[in-house]
Amino acid sequence: MQSLRKYRVTVLVITDILIICAAQFISGFLMSKNNVLYTDSYMKTLANTIIASIVVYEAVFVIFKTYMNITRYENGKDYISYIILSMLSGGIIFLTAFLFRLPFVESKQIMLSTILISVAVVSYRVIIRFILTGDGTGVKQNTGKNNLLIIGAGEAARELIKTAKTNFKLTYNIVGLIDDNPNKIGYFISGKQILGSRFDIPRICEEKNVKTIFFSIANINSINKKQILTICQETGAKIRILPGMVDIIKNKSLLSNLRDVEIEDLLGRDAIELENENIEELIKDKCVLITGGGGSIGSELCRQVVKHNPKTLVIFDIYENNLYNIQMELRQNNFDQKTNIVAVVGSVRDKSRLDEVFKRYKPYIVFHAAAHKHVPLMEVSPLEAIKNNVFGTYNTVNIADKYNVKKFILISTDKAVNPTNIMGATKRMCEMIVQAKNNVSKTEFAAVRFGNVLGSNGSVLPLFKKQISIGGPVTVTHKEITRFFMTIPEAVGLVLQAASYAKGGEVFVLDMGEPVKIYDLAESLIKLSGLEPNVDIQIKITGLRPGEKLYEELLMSEEGLKQTAHNKIFIGNPGSIKIKELKEKIKQLKELTQHESISSVEIKETMKKIVPTYHEPDEMNITQKNSRQEIQSKIIDTAVKVKKIADYNKVTKEQTLKEA
């Protein structure tokens, strides 16, 4: 095989010459009458035609570099070019014979030989490619291969099959494809059969011992995607997925586009549509300042804000590494061609630094994302949460008011609702600050509140992935603990949309979809890794951490909801606080920060007075659990009553029919 590869061009040339000779003999046999084929004059004519054909065909093939093609990677376009070049060669021979009256065979025979040559040239190349890229049928060849099932029977699937056959034939054994179109089932794509629909996946995976699944449908809505992936997840196979079409266009190699399935794929939420004209009007040609711009939320704010062409983007952060990373990312994507991107190191605790930055750049809109957000760490260091979250926000709000910022948007959290920890209480205090300041300022102050974001700094997902990678255990604090989740781009897109609606004083609440049990999240991640929960990877319950509650809320009980123009954004109406009352609360907190040795108990007691909705986690967890059990009990009672009524109606109907 190695020697053949070394002399591949020679082998191809000799094969083509033999085909040309054979085609002329066969066409002569088919077209000639009686015994003319065996006469000396005809043999001379045929010899002239064969010599001319070899010269012309080989010259054309060499000029158009057909021998430079690697046979195993040839495709339909290459084969069409062979047919065209063969036809061109035949045409040249015909014209030469006609114009110069050369002793060649008849025109009909030239035409037939041309057809035979084009078919033969393509056929033997297809056979060679099939031999080189084929799966093989021997049992030994399949030893060690990964049985692969492909979801989707479209163009992407065809390309995946082609790539797997050529580059990964020793890695994957493709058992077949899945498609929900009933008209496709039973048919073949590139030699691989479409075996069934999504509902046949578990059966096929069991019968074929499938170890890997490629999800090759790029254009599919979130609901269907979630349903199919959920079915795949139960098979125990490793799942890899094609991203959206935009990513595929950027990187045309489909196999390199395949990625592991993420929890985001299983959320089942449709893409959020934004009113980009409103956002554009808010941001275009303006100066935008983002505090905490190097963090997970802040950096995504930067990415989305620059797409709306601000005149200047000021990224303000205390951590220079993150700040540098987002600045370089935006510059590498050429956003600095239209926007002046400025990275500023500084702390929101430093009033003089803030004053200097606001005075120099005079921002039109400020997104305040800088905050300490890690609940357990802030329970250990409550004064740091107060200094950074409360006083950092208070400083930024006052400086924004001083320099007549048009809009100030606070990034808040669901943990500010009935907080059970210092972090949540400080964020609720931040909401109170912007609401109080809005009443006495020309600046429009508002807050946007949302839950956990997947992939953010401190998110549970990176921890779970790391624990799975080292073989477990995966640690969950409580089997019933529930959280709302949203992707970072989703959350930030809605923040920008909410900012375009803000008139001042609102607390915008984002629709986070259905709450997710963290235990179920851990199980899904383990299954997506092709492993079995509590068999291959143990899930360990560690107990609730300090300040942690079982269920997060997005709205305080005393608040009402108002719908905005966007179906994912609502406005809460919490009771307003007067600026005088706010200053008194700030004064009390200021006194706390003067004493580093003050106990956590004293700090919490003071916070409970300042934030009336702040409760101990045990108290809230019992209340929430009882409330949920009461709701579930009512649902069960209602279901039982409905069933009794249905049974009664059924019996009555049957009795009536008998009597009739």
Rounded Cα distance between 587 and 109, Å, is 105
Phi, psi of 302 (to 5 degrees): -60, -45
Rounded Cα distance between 398 and 404, Å, is 10
Residue 116 is classified by DSSP as H
Active site residues: 415
Residues whose CB is less than 8 angstroms from the CB of residue 35 and which lie 6 or more positions away in sequence, other chains included: none
Residue with tokens 């004293």: 602
Rounded Cα distance between 416 and 317, Å, is 23
- What sign does the CA torsion over 26, 32, 37, 43 have? negative
| DSSP string covering 423-453 | HHHHHHHHHHHHHHHHTT-SSEEEEEEE-EE
Q: Between β-strands 482-483 and 474-476, what pairing exists: parallel, antiparallel or unpaired?
A: unpaired
Give the bridge partners for 483, in sequence order. Answer: 516
Q: Between β-strands 561-563 and 507-510, what pairing exists: parallel, antiparallel or unpaired?
A: unpaired
Residue with tokens 């600050």: 433
Rounded Cα distance between 221 and 271, Å, is 8
Given phi > 0 = left and psi -120 to 50 = alpha, else beta, which region is 616? beta
The enclosing H or E element of 290 equals: strand 287-291
| DSSP string covering 200-221 | GHHHHHHHTT--EEEE---S--
b/e per residue, 72-106, with b = 16+ CB within 10 A? Answer: eebeeebbeebbebbeebbebbeeebeeeeeebbe
Residue 68 is classified by DSSP as G
Rounded Cα distance between 314 and 341, Å, is 6
Instruction: Label residue 501 exposed, middle or buried (CB < 10 Å: 0-12, 13-18, 19+).
Output: middle
Query: What is the residue type of 33?
Result: K
Residue with tokens 């799942």: 239
E runs forming strands in 207-264: 212-215, 238-241, 259-260
CB atoms within 10 A of CB 37: 14
